A and B are shown apart, each in its own frame.
Chain A
Amino acid sequence: MQSEEWKFTAKDIAEKPDLFMSGHRACAGCAPAAVMRLILKATRGPTIVTMATGCMEVVSTIYPYTSWAVPWLHTAFENAAANASGIEAAIKVLRKKGRIKDEHVDVIAIAGDGGTYDIGIQALSGAVERGHDFLFVLYDNEAYMNTGIQRSGGTPLGASTTTSPAGEVIPGKLEPKKPIADIMVAHEIPYVATASPYYWRDLIIKVRKGLEVEGPAFLHVFAPCPRGWRSDPSKSIELSRLAVETCVFPLWECINGEYQLSAPSKVIAMAPQKKKPVKEYLAVQGRFRHLFTPKYEKLIDEIQRITDMRWQKLLKKCGIA
């Protein structure tokens, strides 16, 4: 893959003009907004971005303003991947007919967890099955934040949301996250990876790799939402580190079906004593506050068990066990 040769310094990235501009209306401490900026730092030429309905769409394109210095399209909630299909098909034909001159145009579809795990999964599955050449980026803030913190298929076990509230008899969401990135691996597409904005360099490289592969690529980006997670807005990036250090959100790539851990998670695999307990991660988020009461504290053990089980499964897939 070419990106192994793509060398850049922090200065290079800082100096590359932003294609996702400031002035948008995201909340203080919004990790998804930082993720948007990082994604566009990785572009390599003419690029079209299309987006599902969601926080990032809403905060960045309030008519007559826009934060996007690239051509950008939103049409609905469930169809970011179908937008990408149409754009990609059009570019191919128009280039063949000589009606557009660009040698190559990268297509990036971006959706939140609702637009990926839930309402968007049909269009996503169809688009990657058809083999369109595009990168789909999921920014996962683990609930429908735009409509006011409702649970999605990406909401973790035990999280309190407005449609899975922690009550007297129910301890928040009863189901663990859907393993969306593994579902995308099962589509046998050339590139699937996970990323976290704390490890910004790793994230940028993975976006670039996703653009460089021929065919569909899928990038699952962890994106804390202080509003929905009831966390300190100044700690979003730290949280996105803690999620990796606890193995709640390990970083890996799957290139042509071969899993491999990315450096931050590999360090933990090599030195398991560095793996932090999930309790540390849960304790700093108000959405898990109820788990720290005698009534529901057992659920913390269950979250730890599922986290460990998934981590072990991943290690096996990566040939480390």
Chain B
Amino acid sequence: MKSVEQKVLALNGDEAVAYAVKQCDVDVVAAYPITPQTIIVERFSEYVANGEVETAFVCTESEHSALTACLAASLTGARAFTASASAGLALMHEMLFVTSGCRAPVVMAIANRALSAPINIHGDQSDTMAQRDSGWIQIYAENAQEVYDSVIQAFRIAEHPEVLLPAMVCLDGFQLSHSVENVNVLPDDVVKKFVGVRQFPKVLTHEGKLAPLRLDPHNPMTLGPLAFPNYYFEFKRQQEEAMKKALEVIRQVHNEYAEISGRSYGDGLLDPYHLEDAEIATVCLGSTAGTVKAVVDELRSEGVKAGLLRIRAFRPLPVEGIRKALENVKAVAVMDRSMSFGGHGGAVFHEVRHALYDSDKRPFIVNYIYGLGGRDTSPMQVRAIYKDLQEIVQKGHVETPIKYVGLRE
């Protein structure tokens, strides 16, 4: 199928989110301002003020109430969206678990930002990494184009009856949220058709009727009940099952979208770059992949077999895909833009290493913590990582498993 004709707009990442949300027939947006997310809700409230969307915009008094209102709206049958970052996401922590536990397919954009203290408004992934066990799907975008594409896909993924989980689209604060790029946007009607009208799975009510899962006065249902030890565990197990199903759904939705838009990101879960014959490789999430790709190109032109694995879906984690993608590499450097204090390396490092434990060809895997609080990571620094990997391969052992990039020590 030939992809549809598209307009090119100059948008920063935040504006790309707002533009995608505008096209997705969203019913309720509830949000609270926080840098570097604020542009998303500013742009969106302009669409509301100009009558360009049929959306209730609820400007709440906190992020906690913003997510609560989205959750309640979603359970009433609305398509709901919010956006946040850093401290705002941390304030939502409680409600993140309630949202996934209630199986409400809320979509949220996160302009990744460092957590206090010290207070810092710049980019790193500490905020979303700290929420990786909250039961939300997490998709990390590399550029503003992918941000736009991912938000549209996120509604389809979250609302899929086999999934029914909330989803975060993560964009690096400032690097993506505030940098203007050329973004190809689909026509409104194409997006509207792609996301469709929200469908509800039918469930058994206490009156013994089959009814759509939502708060409906004609089919009363008790949502958010108390579950004791005799039932709670099964609820949690079902969430895990939904996450597993999301792996396939993310891929399907990505592929379907690729046919319409002509754009794809690996298989939708993992986006490998020159990995087929790579001897050394890095693993990263988000916008850093742009810098790494430029370095990989340089190294390849110098005859070095370097590659990159960008993880697009961190939750659910495509464990098998990671194992297959990396098991033939000799040495892997996992780049973490957050810390897990006292945990021997960052979160991505833990999970990539875990994915390769079952491989009989376990490559060396080392960790590089980088870019905290918005610190720049240069191509030179990335080159140095690949140089380290070459040395590890040469020497046949790892001297320093965890290193910090561009840090005063």
Interface residues of A (CB under 8 A from B): 45-48, 50, 57-58, 61-66, 68-76, 78-79, 81-87, 89-94, 96-97, 99-100, 102, 105, 122-123, 125-127, 129-130
Residue B377 is within 8 A (CB to CB) of chain A in the complex: no
Q: Are A83 and B54 touching (Cβ within 8 A)?
A: no
The residue in chain A whose Cβ has the minimal distance to the Cβ of B235 is: A63
Known contacts A72-B220, A125-B61, then 20 further A-B pairs from the complex at CB < 8 Å, ordered by chain A residue: A48-B76, A66-B222, A71-B220, A72-B215, A72-B221, A76-B95, A76-B98, A79-B68, A82-B60, A83-B69, A83-B71, A86-B30, A86-B78, A90-B56, A90-B77, A96-B54, A100-B77, A105-B217, A123-B65, A127-B65
- Cross-chain contact A82 with B222 (CB below 8 angstroms): no
Given A76-B68, A99-B77: A85 in contact with B224 (beta carbons within 8 A): no
Q: How far apart are B235's CB and chain A's nearest CB, in angstroms?
A: 9
Q: Which applies to chain A's interface (DSSP): helix, strand, loop or mixed?
A: mixed
Is B76's CB under 8 angstroms from A61's CB?
Answer: no
Interface assignment of B269: CB less than 8 Å from any CB of chain A: no
Flag whether B58 is at the interface (Cβ < 8 A). Answer: yes
On whether the beta carbons of A75 and B71 are closer than 8 Å, the reply is yes
Count, A-B residue pairs, CB within 8 A: 163
A63 touches B227 (CB 8 A): yes
Which listed residue (B55, B197, B215, B226) contacts A71, Cβ 8 A? B215
Interface string of B247-278 (1 = CB under 8 A from A): 00000000000000000000000000000000
> Is the Cβ of B76 less than 8 Å from the Cβ of A58?
no
Do A89 and B61 touch (CB < 8 A)?
no
Judge whether B228 is part of the interface by a CB distance below 8 angstroms: yes
Contact (Cβ within 8 A) B78 A94: yes
Contact of A102 with B30 in the complex, beta carbons under 8 Å: no
Chain B interface residue count: which class? 35 or more
Pick the contact of A75: B30, B72, B76, B80 (CB < 8 A).
B72
A85 and B65 within 8 A (CB): yes
Interchain CB contact under 8 A, A69 and B226: no
Query: Judging by beta carbons under 8 Å apart, are B77 and A82 in contact?
Result: no
Q: Decide yes or no: A93 and B28 within 8 Å by CB, A73-B72, A86-B76 being known contacts.
A: yes
Knowing A70-B217, A73-B215, A75-B98, the reply to whether A86 touches B222 (Cβ < 8 A) is no
Q: Which residues of B contact A100 (CB under 8 A)?
A: 77, 216
Q: Is the CB of A90 within 8 A of B98?
A: no
Could you pull out 12 A-B pairs where Cβ atoms are within 8 angstroms? A63-B227, A71-B220, A81-B65, A82-B65, A82-B69, A83-B69, A90-B28, A90-B72, A97-B27, A122-B65, A123-B68, A126-B62
Which of B60, B68, B95 has the most chain A CB atoms closer than 10 A to its own CB?
B68
CA distance A91 to B72 in the complex (A): 11
With contact pairs A61-B226, A87-B76, A89-B30 given, residues A71 and B68 touching in the complex (Cβ less than 8 Å): no
Q: Which residue of B lies closest to A79 (CB)?
A: B68
Least CB distance, A320 to chain B, in whole angstroms: 36
Residue of B nearest to A77 (CB): B94
Q: In the complex where A48-B76, A76-B98, A123-B68 touch, is A86 in contact with B28 (Cβ < 8 A)?
A: yes
Q: A90–B27 contact, CB under 8 A?
A: yes
CA of A78 to CA of B58, assembled, Å: 18
Residues of B within 8 A of A71 (CB): 215-217, 219-223
Taken together as a complex, chains A and B put the C-alpha atoms of A50 and B95 apart, in Å, by: 15
What are the 9 tightest A-B residue pairs by CB atom distance, in nearest-first order? A126-B61, A86-B72, A46-B217, A86-B69, A90-B78, A82-B68, A82-B65, A90-B76, A90-B73
Return chain B residues, CB-CB under 8 Å to A72.
Answer: 215, 220-223
Q: Is the Cβ of B28 less than 8 Å from the Cβ of A89?
A: yes
Q: Which residues of A contact B95 (CB under 8 A)?
A: 75-76, 79
Q: How distant is B207 from chain A, measured CB to nearest CB, in Å?
A: 8
**A residues in contact with B220, CB < 8 Å:** 68-72
Any A CB within 8 A of the CB of B233: no
Q: Complex Cα distance A50/B222, Å?
A: 10
Most chain A CB within 10 A, of B72, B98, B197, B220, is at: B72
Contacts of A126 in B (CB 8 A): 60-62, 65
A89 touches B65 (CB 8 A): no
Pick the contact of B73: A45, A81, A89, A129 (CB < 8 A): A89
Most chain A CB atoms below 10 A, which of B78, B216, B231: B78
List residues of chain A with CB within 8 A of the CB of B94.
76
Query: What residues of A have a CB within 8 angstroms of the CB of B80 in the complex?
Result: 86, 90
A72→B77 CA distance, assembly (Å): 14
- B304 interface residue per 8 A CB criterion: no
**Residues of A contacting B69 in the complex (Cβ-Cβ under 8 angstroms):** 82-83, 85-86, 89
A123 touches B222 (CB 8 A): no
> Does the CB pair A79–B65 fall under 8 Å?
yes
Of the listed residues B68, B69, B98, the one surrounded by the most CB atoms of chain A closer than 10 A to its CB is: B69
**Is B2 part of the binding interface, using a Cβ–Cβ cutoff of 8 Å?**
no
Contact with A along B201-237 (1 / 0, CB 8 A): 0000010000000011111111111111001000000
Of chain A, the residue at the smallest CB distance from B207 is A69
A66, B166: Cα distance in complex, Å: 26
Contacts of B283 in A (CB 8 A): none
Chain B residues positioned under 8 Å from A66 (CB to CB): 206, 222, 225
A53 nearest in chain B by CB position? B226
Closest to A62 in B: B226
B102 adjacent to chain A (CB < 8 Å)? yes
A76 partner residues in chain B, CB cutoff 8 A = 68, 94-95, 98
